[in-house]
Amino acid sequence: MIWDTHAHLDDPVYLEDFDEVAVRMKAAGISRVTNVGYDFLSSKRSIKLAEDYDFIYAAIGIHPHNAVEATDEIWAKLLLLAKQPKVLAWGEIGLDYYRDLSPRATQKEVFIQQIKLANEVDLPIVIHNRDAHQDILQIVKAHPPRCGGVFHCYSGSWEMAKVLLNLGFYLSFAGPVTYKNARHTVEVAVHAPLDRILVETDSPYLTPEPRRGKRNEPTYVQEVVKKLAELKNLSFEDIAHQTMCNAETIFKNTTSL
Ligand SMILES: [Zn+2]
């Protein structure tokens, strides 16, 4: 049993064959998927999927790309969504200085605001960080998430990972750990303690090898598990089981697990 802790199955690329994607993943032993919102509508769609499919759980939040859309009205609406039974986390939230689609000052403000809201409703946070390592670190130190958090598709150095692990964060690995140029990520995967790692696909993006470049889907989280098993000298089953237990620990704030 494997938990794909980060996917966007509400993406239109699954409109035509969603049921086949679900059948494949179940046959492959992927028993849970967290569908992650990036704005108000995708957060609502994540909850709808969680209502329709027993194996889907939801995270809700405003991605840094969409930070300019955040208003008091949106916060009030998200707080209501956060209380739905299958909502496990507040995310994805954070900073993205690679694409800079919202002004950095706004990104920071919206990130801090959402840590506060997550603390209010007792949810862990799911963090997106692209080229913003120092500012992310500064913010999570100044505004610690009360129920902890996950760095999704962790891409930083082992040096930064050590600081984050000391602060109690989990590190989630996705397709990039299978890529040839993944030196940093591989180093982090080798050293990260077993009880603090998660696996994900970020479907439909970041497809692992050997399918890199094609559409991703939860089934392929197997490649991430396989890679971590190889790097840590453990069996596929060990990594699957351990990452499932870890996900249950961090996403425990729900009555539905
Ligand atoms: Zn994502």
Query: 185 C-alpha to center of ligand 1: Å?
Result: 17
Is the pTM here over 0.85, yes or no? yes
Closest CA to 247 of 257, 235, 237, 255: 257
At residue 252, the pLDDT reads 86
b/e per residue, 228-241, with b = 16+ CB within 10 A? bbebbeeeeeebbe
Query: 213 C-alpha to center of ligand 1: Å?
Result: 16
Task: Domain 2-250: give its CATH superfamily.
Answer: Metal-dependent hydrolases (3.20.20.140)
Ligand 1 ion local residues (Cβ < 5 A): 202
Query: 202 C-alpha to center of ligand 1: Å?
Result: 5
Query: 61 C-alpha to center of ligand 1: Å?
Result: 11
Query: 8 C-alpha to center of ligand 1: Å?
Result: 7
Query: 159 C-alpha to center of ligand 1: Å?
Result: 24
At residue 67, the pLDDT reads 93
Amino acid identity, residue 23? V
Give the C-alpha separation, 54 to 256, whole Å: 10
CA 32 to chain centre: 13
Query: 204 C-alpha to center of ligand 1: Å?
Result: 9
At residue 253, the pLDDT reads 58
Query: 190 C-alpha to center of ligand 1: Å?
Result: 23
Give the C-alpha separation, 43 to 66, whole Å: 13
Query: 254 C-alpha to center of ligand 1: Å?
Result: 21
Query: 36 C-alpha to center of ligand 1: Å?
Result: 6
Query: 118 C-alpha to center of ligand 1: Å?
Result: 18
Write out the chain's pLDDT in tens, 257 residues.
999 999 999 999 999 999 999 999 999 999 999 999 999 999 999 999 999 999 999 999 999 999 999 999 999 999 999 999 999 999 999 999 999 999 999 999 999 999 999 999 999 999 999 999 999 999 999 999 999 999 999 989 999 999 999 999 999 999 999 999 999 999 999 999 999 999 999 999 999 999 999 999 999 999 999 999 999 999 999 999 999 999 999 998 544 55
